Amino acid sequence: MNDTLETIFNRRSIRSFIADRKVEQEKLELIIRAALAAPSAGNAQPWKFYILESLELRQQAVEAAYGQSFIAQAPVTIVVCADLQIAVDAYGYRGESLYAYQDTAAAVQNILLAAKSLGLETCWIGAFEENVVARKILRLPKHLRPVAMIPIGYSNETGKPRPKRPQDEVIEWRS
Ligand SMILES: Cc1cc2nc3c(=O)[nH]c(=O)nc-3n(C[C@H](O)[C@H](O)[C@H](O)COP(=O)(O)O)c2cc1C
């Protein structure tokens, strides 16, 4: 199996981080580049990324995410936002209702896989009070919708593979 596939198959959602181990700046920059390299409809790139570094901001992220305290253990959290203005300008209703979320999801997955390939762990956080993140923590303009938060850090946990639905339930070959 090649490195890319190994990264895909070994990635897990990890919910415990080594709190005092920083993420190297070069690694963070590579992860950000990976996010920006994601595909997007018409290459519109309807996204914006906020990197939360201070403990104060990370603790606010925990509160917004209903107390998921492991978020603040990680030394950095990336908040991925969909830019609905760019999306609607590019593709109207389909852009703002579908492509904006597909594009940002692709960027999120790139972040998860890039981090894993660099020896880091992550967890995709979708359960959070959107208004708290948008208005209180980040003070975003209305056209930016936070869609995911991703704590990134080193961990002593490797995680167990989560059960996935059987292939015959979700795959249908047609010829
Ligand atoms: C859209 C989305 C939202 C998620 N939100 C959360 C979350 O708020 N908290 C959390 O601990 N995990 C969250 N997860 C992670 C899932 O629980 C996890 O991906 C799933 O259990 C499968 O485990 P695996 O990632 O290790 O394969 C989310 C994943 C996705 C794709």
Substitution candidate for ligand 1 out of 9, 10, 13, 164 with most atoms within 8 A of CB: 13
**Following DSSP, what letter does each residue of the chain receive, concatenated?**
--HHHHHHHH--B-----TT-PPPHHHHHHHHHHHHTS--GGG---EEEEEE-SHHHHHHHHHHTTT-THHHHSSEEEEEEEEHHHHHHHHHHHIIIIIHHHHHHHHHHHHHHHHHHTT-EE--B--S-HHIIIIIIS---TTEEEEEEEEEE--S---PPPP---HHHH-----
The fraction of the chain above a pLDDT of 70, given in percent, is 100
Cβ < 6 Å from ligand 1: which residues? 12-13, 15, 68, 123-127, 159, 162
Q: What per-residue confidence (pLDDT) applies to 121?
A: 98
Shortest-distance Cα residue to atom 22 of ligand 1? 162
* Mean pLDDT of all residues belonging to the chain: 98
Q: What per-residue confidence (pLDDT) applies to 132?
A: 98
10-157: CATH topology: NADH Oxidase (3.40.109)
pLDDT band at 85 (very low <50, low <70, confident <90, very high): very high
Mean pLDDT of 48-66: 98
pLDDT band at 152 (very low <50, low <70, confident <90, very high): very high
